[in-house]
Structure 1
């Protein structure tokens, strides 16, 4: 097939799952089936008592298989609703469906927690016998994780109460944030723009336009800052109260356990980054001079230093990605080909869509769906490759038991960044002119700055916000102050005007499903750089080894994963410095090209 002449749809197909969108009768039947499966599991799980001997292994397996079915149906439902919400922010029926799915999920979580705790309450001797069961030994890592988590939590009755109250409390506040942002509009050049569309203008080459849009956005966040502050305070307060009731005195306990990593690993990563920020400050200083300023302001971070003449239509972008994936491995190429041909991707550039991009999995259908807004830039091509990397991760895990596919966010970002790297590096190598090369290297460096400086600032802000929140409600003024301090430290004082209300503008601070939605991005970025370096050094195809690593992402800690597949100790700064040095070489090339 000649890829360059292929025409792909830039609108995804959701009807293959449930036809009719948010009015779908098929989806209504799916929710009814889900409710029945959830209730059946509840009846059986609530009658379950701590196992008395290895003979109970078959019953445990049977209940786990029932729970697995409910999980698959829940994920299918959650993915469908996420797609409906993203493709049209004004779909109120989708909002209603989200409430239903959240409620079903909370009910199931409550019962499942009780089951896990009953299972964990058996004696050490019986537990060890159960782990030898012919079927249960397949999910040993997950079972041990359950037992540890059950010991760390309150009684099943208390945990069920927390989950029930979280639907209208904790998660309700998270949804409130989406509602406020969805209603916000920015007027520019006589046009009414969503927040996402306005944010896209911050990468304009026109400084006046960037400044004007930034000021309007900052005013819009300011107009709603009391609502955002209240929302953030209630989310933080809920989380801290739950930790307190459980007797957890460490703020990072949940985020680290969720990401299956040690504090030493996190400290080593940030330690290495903090020691090597100077080259990136040099890059930002050079960029400032290139656009005629002494210091960059926040709204200049995404400004182009050279106009990239390289734009690609959606079909050309797809062809470019497929070509680069094919050079890495046939599995990756054929998988991406299927995603384009079978209309897995929503990329149309239109109003009314949610900002940003994501990939979500439909496990009952063995498919994924990718969401983004494609406008033809090389940055868009990289984003598309990034999301295809997420989808490929799910594909690589297909042979694994459902419970062995629950990888955490830090390794999720590894697969996506790896795919993005393949495409971004190829774009630089194929650049036709010096200006094109500068623009593409700068696009890579913007990502390094985002992971090493912007994400670091978010991490610093969130850590300090929780310290303040423990003392009481944190005022708007204090939130702005904490954000400015974090940005100055994160960016090593390299910026002029910063973004005090970034805490209000960033969805990640309001996500309830994942605690501390920041450092895993940086982990994934640097971890994937090490894998990418291994792939480049390999004399043979690395794809098989890469897929083997992906299959292990949900059945071991990240420290074990790195030792097994890379032979590296990631609790030491030396590991992280290897990845940072690759990014510093981009800085050096940029400085040389722009002398």
Structure 2
């Protein structure tokens, strides 16, 4: 592939010029505060006059407020990712958090009011033309009202979240972003960020991979008490809120947020457990190829062949642009705009946050993608993954107000879909057996991550919540829970796993939702289903795909899949179709490496 030069540092000034000292941003935040104040007035009026017109006005203002909040919050998130030591941005984060708390108070109040409206009257209101498009989300609000909490209690919880609950999450981000990891590479000791050190897991030299692994483990051990306090306090706060809200278990709220039935989740894990033995065979074979009797965790991401897996950023841009365009003109044009307009921050430099993400800017119809691109094939996959999130945001541009917000479960489907395009195209372009083995290895790593690694996170969180109810959990016990969960999820096929996964896995510290894990596996298997349909239909599929994404903000996952794929996701048959595709990858890998 030709090495073309592309900008690797994003342009945030198009959103708000001036960074954390932006006068435009401050004006936007002032406008947002005015919107919240206006919204609070409308809700008070609606309390006294529960008319359809008042509800229409309320829904419109809530949608507009949330859109403007997302615009500011995403910008501040980007500032802190590119420079975790930006104290002005941290102050702005606190301010935007207070505004979010006020919005959540309004939302809590609205839910409670809606839950008290007579059923017959409620149906009359929803059957009007003005509210027809909001039936799903309004019914969802009504159903999820905090009926067990008084207005004062709900308000107090929102207030405590800002400087308590969410503050712990922000503290974790700052803590891990400021860690320096010293690693010797080619005889030179380098000071790396956590993100850069983690990227070394795919380094061609085993000694470098091993040194990076144990250097990180040493840091986590040194700081385990501090990280354990953060995790205990985040989880402890959630448990207290669950008690107040009389939630039956820790999974209830995440399932509702992801619009998935517990029956669906249990069926998915059941099918995955049935097929796990195949993936253990892959791990055993890969270990054998590397001269080991078992798969060492620090070798999991290692290349299995001598095929050059370096991909220059310019090569990745060209490859992604060419192959995404083959799936539809809108996806192709979106990718070109993202690269040409400076939407992507990919520069490999220290002092950046370690975790890739895609931030949505709905007010201007843009996205921003953040990662550290170090030049590997895996980095190209990560870049494609985050572009998939951006395309989902693009698809929602034509969707009204509150229906723009979609659950994480379907968000991970769009990103996985784009990963599949890259992997499939790479497999078709492979010139020999060695190249095919290398690409299959990358595909299977993703299956392992979703079927085994994500399952270990799910098991750990279940067990941690259960024990945390009785009091604070020590780092030693957290390590034991992590090790037990990894052993069960991997079927004992991973050697020397990181027992400190509970420290460096950021999803445990995300305060927006607990169990920030199972939606990845859901999205992965779901994406396999509609990717197969895309290959069958070719360019004709893009409109169907866009319609599916646009519906993702106002349907349950069960209804969404039934409408667009005609499948019942509470049945084993649906999940088995995706699993069988992944098992075929294992069989092909085993066949190609049989010598």
Shorter-chain TM-score tier: over 0.9
Q: Distance in 2 between matches of 1:20 and 1:244?
A: 44
Alpha-carbon offset, residue 257 of structure 1: 0.4
Alignment-derived partner of residue 271 in structure 1: 270
8 A contact 2:254–2:515 mirrored in 1: yes
Alignment-derived partner of residue 42 in structure 1: 40
Are residues 1:116 and 2:111 paired? yes
CA, structure 1 residues 106+151, in 2 after alignment: closer, same or farther (shift >3 Å)? Answer: closer
Provide the secondary structure at the position in 1 that maps to 2:144: helix
Provide the secondary structure at the position in 1 that maps to 2:436: helix
Alignment-derived partner of residue 125 in structure 1: 120
TM-score (norm 2): 0.96
Q: Distance in 2 between matches of 1:7 and 1:379?
A: 20
Alpha-carbon offset, residue 320 of structure 1: 1.0
Which 10-residue stretch deviates more, 127-136 or 410-419? 127-136
Alpha-carbon offset, residue 541 of structure 1: 1.6
8 A contact 1:46–1:111 mirrored in 2: no
Alignment-derived partner of residue 150 in structure 1: 145
Alignment-derived partner of residue 248 in structure 1: 247
Alignment-derived partner of residue 480 in structure 1: 479
Are residues 1:33 and 2:23 paired? no
Alignment-derived partner of residue 392 in structure 2: 393
Which 10-residue stretch deviates more, 456-465 or 107-116? 107-116
8 A contact 2:268–2:575 mirrored in 1: yes
Which of 158, 176, 180 is equivalent to 2:175?
180
Unpaired runs of 5+ residues, structure 2, are none
Alpha-carbon offset, residue 116 of structure 1: 2.9
Structure-to-structure mapping, 1:282-293, within 5 angstroms = 282-293=281-292
- Paired residue total: 590
8 A contact 1:51–1:119 mirrored in 2: no
Q: Distance in 2 between matches of 1:387 and 1:409?
A: 13
CA, structure 1 residues 163+308, in 2 after alignment: closer, same or farther (shift >3 Å)? Answer: farther
Alignment-derived partner of residue 339 in structure 1: 338
1:91-146 CA-to-partner distances (Å, cap 9, x unmatched) read: 22211111111111111211232133223322112211110222111111111001
Alignment-derived partner of residue 158 in structure 2: 163
Structure-to-structure mapping, 1:233-244, within 5 angstroms = 233-244=232-243
CA, structure 1 residues 258+275, in 2 after alignment: closer, same or farther (shift >3 Å)? Answer: same
Provide the secondary structure at the position in 2 that maps to 1:276: helix
Provide the secondary structure at the position in 2 that maps to 1:328: coil
8 A contact 1:46–1:115 mirrored in 2: no
Structure-to-structure mapping, 1:89-488, within 5 angstroms = 89-150=84-145, 152=147, 154-189=149-184, 190-488=189-487
Which 10-residue stretch deviates more, 419-428 or 303-312? 303-312
Alpha-carbon offset, residue 511 of structure 1: 0.5
Alpha-carbon offset, residue 18 of structure 1: 0.8
Which of 43, 60, 69 is equivalent to 2:64?
69
8 A contact 2:297–2:495 mirrored in 1: yes
Unpaired runs of 5+ residues, structure 1, are none
Which 10-residue stretch deviates more, 396-405 or 269-278? 396-405
Q: Distance in 2 between matches of 1:183 and 1:343?
A: 26
Q: What is the root-mean-square deviation of aligned Cα atoms in Å?
A: 1.6
8 A contact 1:46–1:114 mirrored in 2: no
Structure-to-structure mapping, 1:504-543, within 5 angstroms = 504-538=503-537, 541-543=540-542
1:11-54 CA-to-partner distances (Å, cap 9, x unmatched) read: 111101111111111111111111111112112222331655xx
Q: Distance in 2 between matches of 1:51 and 1:428?
A: 62
Which 10-residue stretch deviates more, 149-158 or 241-250? 149-158
8 A contact 1:50–1:118 mirrored in 2: no
Which of 12, 15, 20 is equivalent to 2:13?
15
Alignment-derived partner of residue 73 in structure 2: 78
Alpha-carbon offset, residue 152 of structure 1: 5.0
Alpha-carbon offset, residue 581 of structure 1: 1.0
Alpha-carbon offset, residue 204 of structure 1: 1.7
Alignment-derived partner of residue 500 in structure 1: 499
Deviating 4+ runs (over 4 angstroms): 3-7
Alpha-carbon offset, residue 197 of structure 1: 1.1
Alpha-carbon offset, residue 5 of structure 1: 8.3
CA, structure 1 residues 567+472, in 2 after alignment: closer, same or farther (shift >3 Å)? Answer: same
